[in-house]
Structure 1
Amino acid sequence: MSKILWKSLLLSPAILGATLVVSSTAVAVEQSQQAELNQQDAAQAPVTDYVVAIADNAIEQNTTVSVQVVNPAATQPQTVAVTQVSPAPITVAQATTAPVAPAAAPEATSVESLEQLNRYSNEGTGNSNSVAQVTSVSQLSDVQPTDWAFQALQSLVERYGVIAGYPDGTYRGNRAMTRYEFAAGLNAALDRVNELIAAGTADMVRREDLATLQRLQEEFAAELATLRGRVDALEAQTAELEANQFSTTTKLVGEVVAAVTDTFGDDVDDNTVLQNRVRLDFQTSFGGSDVLHTRLSTGNAQPFSFSAFNGPVPNATFEGQQTFNVSPNFENDISLDWLAYDFPLFGQARGYLAATGGIHSDYAATANPYFEDYDGGRGALSTFAQQNPIYRIGGGAGGGLTLGFGGSGVFRPSSLTVGYLADNASDPGLSAGIGNGDYAALAQLNFNLGDRVALAATYVHGYHTTGNGIYDIGGSFAGQSAGPVVGTTQANLVDISGDGFVDGVPGLLTGPTVTNSYGVSAALRLTDRISLSGFGTYTNATLLGRGGADIWTFGGGVAFPDLGKEGNLLGIFAGVEPTLRGVEAPGVVGFTRDYGLHVEGFYRYQLTDNVSITPGVIWLSSPGQNDANSDVIIGTLRTTFNF
């Protein structure tokens, strides 16, 4: 239903009702005369087709004009006069109708859902069939001078200018249409009549034309009453919802992930598990462009232990972790895992404040489309493929500022982003708080070249106390219940085992660590169905009082959105998770520094708008950056419910 139809419904119900029904009786002539004409022209066209030569704008009330009605069963056009017509803006230009019995009076309690009304209002007006104004009948490729309605169509175009054709240059005059669609065309003509009258050209509209329109108004009375009943019922339902809604400022966005997953390999000894994670995000907006996130989370998705790996401790790697493993606990206890406020400042600038659970990707663009889902259940399976690990250095409480620039031109929209997050901001201890505990400060330049290329250059400076991981998004490694979410143990922990030993080398990498990380991320959308993305990060770790170390990570992938049907996603990603490559420290003789590959493939199948199933596989070679460990395959079947 066009905007004009809806407006007319509100301003002139009586007239719109008159324009919402048409049948063969509206333009019928004397029965005996009609029967004779039908016999003469039955072979030329269906008796239920009519073309009404009327104008494109509504006319003033009590104004007399004329309308020409072409009946395919008649050999001559018929014209009649109509008076007392009010404006009722709608739109269409051809119709196929059939005689119907008079509509029953509507029930006052008739209720139609909003979805049904929307479907009705859009009937016959899909996006693919948007119409364009026709200025000459010759523009319609499927209308020929020999057609029975050619003269009527020519009159509509050249006399009244109300015909609209489809983008492919066709008129599609043989397509059946509903009575409501015809009502739209009728009102388009009325709009044109009104325009002609306002321009002082009322002599172009004949008295006979309005006589037909008057009869059509009477025919539409029942449909108008039915439609009015539907609208009244919807208004009542809307009022009821507004009176009993949860909040005028808050909506609930939820996600439930349930996954069956297992590992396969000679050096792993894990069982098949069924795990879950639930997130309930209360999103509150006070001005429309800001949002306060209050998210509750629970789950039992504990990462695999890889307990049989060669290494100094069980869980000798954090590689292969999946997004639903990112949870504040593994006991199905409910926790407030994110409390943050995102808000506009001035111009293109935005601010971000996090009281708990903040991570850098909340406010900084990651340039990894389709794979990135903020550790949700609709993107890549693993935390590694979701985003450049540089965004996982530190987290917690703090804030960020994004200054947008390049509002027009090739760099649009681009930004400069800075932020600071502290792991233990709420702890008043001497080695905690905002500045004395673990923290990470970020600076990033993000460039978007048009709408197909994105580039991000990122720097993160971090401080990590003894026993905490580098890529831990602000978590703690105490009790193995949280901590690093990506990369090998050697690359994450200041001290792998807590006893100062790494592969038999005493005292290696003990004590606090300061890191400086430099990363780049890029994305290229080749087509609407193919997207490439990749990243790389180098981290220089300064071991306070001990020396230094180098950590590398890189990866890239290709995504095929809407593969098979809209909403589906095929993703393939490969790279090297954060891996310790070099150490400069006194007494270091050697340690394992093998590169291990991470290869991942997944296919998200969208069952409904709210439910998707994602089978996928992750392959890890040389896990724990040790060639002595056999390859590991992680198989997962993930089901995600979004609401």
Structure 2
Amino acid sequence: MKKQSQLNVVWLLALSTIFSLTGRAVGNEVPAALLVENADPLAKINPVSELAGIQPTDWAFQSLKSLMDRYGVVAPGYLDSALRGNRAMSRYEFAASLAASMNRISELTTAETANRAHQEDLETLKRLQAEFDRELEVLQPRLHNLETSIGYRIQPFSTTTELEGEVLFAVSGVGSGETADNSGDATDSNLTFSNRARLTFNTSFTGKDRLRIRLQAGNIPGIDDATGTDMARLAFQSDSDNQFELSILEYRFPIGEQAIVYLEAEGGDLDDFFTDTLNPFFSGSGRGSISRFAQRNPIYRQGGGAGVGVVYNFSESVSLSLGYLADEADNPEVGFGEAEYGAIAQLTLEPSDSFKVGFTYIHSYNSLDTGTGSRRANDPFNDESDAIIADSFGLQSTLEINDGLTVSGWVGFIHATAMDLPNNPAADIFNWAITLAFVDVGIENSVAGIAIGQPPKVTSSDFEVAGNTYEDEGTALHLEAFYRFPVNDNVDITPGVLVITNPEHDRNNTTYIGTIRTTFRF
């Protein structure tokens, strides 16, 4: 069966990488026949780490991603996550996903049903096949030979489920000085060594759908507690005393050729599942920015938990995302109607292969705390309101200047109203950021990132505390730099530094945070 063949490709490709790096099979010597066979054609092939990468903004990347979405293709292993998460790929990684797409579309064009591939999609596929003809030519025989030589030794994890793993370790520290919470206490400037582990199970029952289950454990402390401000929060913070917990339970399936429906039972986020945040090199917590703020526009962080979403692709260049998530939706006392919630609508346009822009609207209830801004921005009514309605507007864009530089940025505006206080006071909250990603700096597949922005700030308010308007008086700046470089195909190291000037928008000092993140993927 073609589906079984595609699943075998996942394991054979992984084993191929192990052979090329170590020269040994898992617990066994590499068969002599395979070594002899590899000695001729494959010895001339450059390692994957030395190959020119396919960037998320390349026409090939976007074209293949569109085809996979339209025809419900599940790529081998982590390659599907790479395409969904918009990270750079090697040409051989890309060819593996292309081969899976070719098999799927071939099924549709030969089956005796009304479901046929569009002619323009076939033309796109022909162009991709011609562009990656050499990689496909080398990849297919290699996988076939590996399956013949060692297939009898290795049993797949499951015929329907793929396992992905990620483990990261972080050494982090805070510069000496006072905390930003007006307590007069000194920051906790001791170095810490901590970790986070994720196991993700992706299951497909039809070849078009996907059930995702993620378990997560970690002991990474809150840097925001050490500094007294959420502006210093790291992207990968997680503390469950290293006990595994269910962090994601999600099922997605297509409707027709243009719509994908998401059902979230646990751990749903408006940004992760329904929308493209248009910040491709910063969005991941394991391989993106070191800070929470630089990952995406903070307005996306309103709402989470259980709910439903849909993405409708009008064309390759126009898509609409709609979603609704509620916290404690399983609680009979609140349900969907009374729980904290966030609802999103985003129109994403792609005028060219190198430019994208997104227009976002979010309506939320008691979900204003984004964990990125000042205390006033997270709670503009000083904990006196239990019914805060917020309307948020965002503009995001990303532009690939050239193969080595991508510039992204956003502005976000929130209008919050306390519905249970006299006269329904309102507050306006604003944030912005610009990010720059320099690709292949010194090392192939490396990324040097710079982020500059203003964390969420209360710019105006009708609410008063002790006769004073509850606004942020000063302006903080977020300055971040990191450099992610690969040790091999499965290990990345990312040193980074974060500087917050005038933290909490009202402190005349500066907060410094440094970290070294090491990420292992399998």
Question: Normalized against structure 2, the TM-score is what?
Answer: 0.69
Q: How many Å apart are 1:110 and its aligned residue?
A: 8.8
* Alignment of 1:438 onto 2:340: yes
Structure 1 CA distance for aligned equivalents of residues 38 and 338 of structure 2: 57
1:494–1:511 contact (8 Å) kept in structure 2: no
1:303 Cα deviation (Å)?
1.1
- Give deviations 1:420-445, integer Å, cap 9, x for gaps: 0001111111xx21121100000000
User: Residue 337 of structure 1 aligns to which amino acid in structure 2?
Assistant: S
| Alignment map for 1:54-93 (pairs within 5 Å) | none
Aligned CA distance change for structure 1 residues 234 and 352 (closer, same or farther; 3 Å): closer
Partner of 1:518: 393
Alpha-carbon shift at residue 282 of structure 1 (Å): 0.8
The structure having more radius of gyration, on CA atoms, is: 1
Change (3 A) 1:119 1:324: farther
Of 304, 313, 319 in structure 2, the residue corresponding to residue 395 of structure 1 is 304
Matches within 5 A, 1:134-533: 234-235=147-148, 237-241=150-154, 244-268=155-179, 269-270=187-188, 271-305=190-224, 315=228, 317-325=229-237, 327=238, 329-361=239-271, 362-373=273-284, 375=285, 377-407=286-316, 412=317, 414-429=318-333, 432-464=334-366, 470-472=368-370, 484=371, 486-493=372-379, 496=382, 509-533=384-408
Following the alignment from structure 1 to structure 2, what is the Cα–Cα distance between the partners of residues 620 and 233? 52
In structure 2, what is the Cα distance between the partners aligned to 1:625 and 1:110?
A: 61
1:605 to 476, 485, 492: 485
Cα distance in 1, alignment partners of residues 437 and 474 from structure 2: 29
Counterpart-to-counterpart distance in 2, 1:554 and 1:115? 55
* 1:1-22 alpha-carbon deviations (Å, 9 max, x no partner): xxxxxxxxxxxxxxxxxxxxxx
Return the alpha-carbon distance in structure 1 between the equivalents of residues 434 and 34 of structure 2.
44
- Tell me, in whole angstroms, the C-alpha distance in 1 between the residues paired with 2:307 and 2:208: 21
Shift of residue 120, structure 1, vs aligned partner: 3.9
Letter in 2 for 1:553: N
Corresponding residue number in structure 1 for 2:5:
none
Give the distance between the partners of 1:439 and 1:535, measured in 2 at CA: 23
Contact 2:34 2:149 in 1 (8 A): no
Label 1:521 to 1:110 Cα distance change in 2 as closer, same or farther (>3 A). Answer: closer
1:83-111 Cα shifts (integer Å, max 9, x gaps): xxxxxxxxxxxxxxxxxxxxxxxxxx992
Distance 1:119 1:261, change over 3 A: farther
Which amino acid is the alignment partner of residue 619 of structure 1? V
Evaluate the alpha carbon distance shift between residue 125 and residue 463 of structure 1 in structure 2; reply closer, same or farther with a 3 A threshold.
Answer: closer
Distance in 1, matches of 2:507 and 2:373, equals: 16
Separation in structure 1 between the aligned mates of residue 486 and residue 30 of structure 2, nearest angstrom = 35
* Paired residue secondary structure (1:607): strand
Q: 1: CA distance between counterparts of 2:33 and 2:297?
A: 45
List gaps (5 residues or longer) in structure 1.
Answer: 1-108, 129-227, 310-314, 473-483, 499-508
Task: Return the alpha-carbon distance in structure 2 between the equivalents of residues 124 and 318 of structure 1.
Answer: 51
Output the aligned Cα RMSD: 2.7
> Measured at CA, do residues 118 and 451 of structure 1 come closer, stay the same or move farther in structure 2, by a change above 3 Å?
farther
Amino acid aligned to 2:150: Q
CA pair 113-619 structure 1, distance change in 2 beyond 3 A = farther
Shift of 1:234: 4.7
TM-score in terms of structure 1 length? 0.57
- Is the CA contact (8 Å cut-off) linking 1:535 and 1:556 kept in structure 2? yes
Question: How far apart, in 1, do the equivalents of 2:35 and 2:324 lie?
Answer: 45
Q: Given the superposition, is the C-alpha separation of residues 535 and 112 from structure 1 closer, same or farther in structure 2, using an over 3 Å criterion?
A: farther
Task: State the aligned residue count.
Answer: 388
Quickly say closer, same or farther: Cα 1:517–1:612, change in 2 above 3 A.
same
**Which of 402, 405, 409 does residue 534 from structure 1 map onto?**
409
CA distance in 1 between partners of 2:35 and 2:473 (Å): 60
Look up the equivalent residue of 2:308 and give its one-letter code.
Answer: G
Change in Cα spacing, 1:122 to 1:517, as seen in structure 2 (3 Å) is same
Q: Is contact 1:390-1:471 (8 Å) kept?
A: no
SS of the residue corresponding to residue 532 of structure 1 reads strand
2:26 matched residue in structure 1: none
Code of the aligned partner of 1:451:
D
- 1:462 shift after superposition: 0.1
Change (3 A) 1:366 1:458: same
SS of the residue corresponding to residue 459 of structure 1 reads strand
1:595 and 2:475 are equivalent in the alignment: yes
Q: 1:624 aligns to what SS in structure 2?
A: helix
Equivalent residue, structure 2, for 1:21: none
CA contact (8 A) 2:289 2:295 kept: yes
Measured after TM superposition, the shift of residue 254 of structure 1 is 0.9
Which has the larger share of strand? 2
Amino acid at match of 1:357: G
Distance change (3 Å), C-alpha of 1:495 and 1:331: farther
- The CA deviation string for residues 60-83 of structure 1, in whole angstroms up to 9 with x for no partner, is xxxxxxxxxxxxxxxxxxxxxxxx
The separation in 1 between residues aligned to 2:176 and 2:402, in whole angstroms, is 38
Query: Aligned equivalents of 1:600 and 1:231: distance in 2?
Result: 46
For residues 632 and 232 of structure 1, the distance between their equivalents in structure 2, rounded to whole angstroms, comes to: 56
Could you tell me how far apart the structure 1 residues matched to 2:374 and 2:411 are? 16
The amino acid that maps onto 2:200 is D
Maintained 8 Å contact 1:424/1:433: yes
Supply the distance in 1 between the matched residues of 2:299 and 2:515 (Cα, whole angstroms).
26
Matched, 1:111 2:43: no
User: Any idea what SS the aligned residue of 1:266 has?
Assistant: coil
Mapped partners of 1:620, 1:441: distance in 2: 31
Matched residues in 2 for 1:609 and 1:550: separation?
Answer: 45
Identity of counterpart residues, as a percentage? 35
Secondary structure of the corresponding residue to residue 324 of structure 1? coil
- 1:302 to 1:236, Cα distance in 2 relative to 1, 3 A: same
Partner amino acid, structure 2, of 1:525: E
Residue 451 of structure 1, CA deviation: 1.1
Whether the 8 Å CA contact 2:388–2:417 is kept in 1: the answer is yes
2:349 counterpart letter in structure 1 = F
Q: After the TM superposition, which parts of structure 1 deviate over 6 Å for at least 4 consecutive aligned residues?
A: 113-116, 125-128, 230-233
**Shift of the alpha carbon at 1:624?**
1.5
d(CA) in 2 for partners of 1:286 and 1:452? Answer: 35
| Correspondence 1:570 to 2:483 | no
Specify which structure has the higher proportion of helix: 2
Partner amino acid, structure 1, of 2:194: Q
Q: 1:298 to 1:231 in 2, by over 3 A?
A: closer
Separation of aligned partners in 2, 1:110 and 1:370: 37
Verify the 8 A CA contact 1:559 1:569 in the aligned structure 2: yes
Shift of 1:510: 2.8
Deviation for aligned residue 1:450 = 2.0
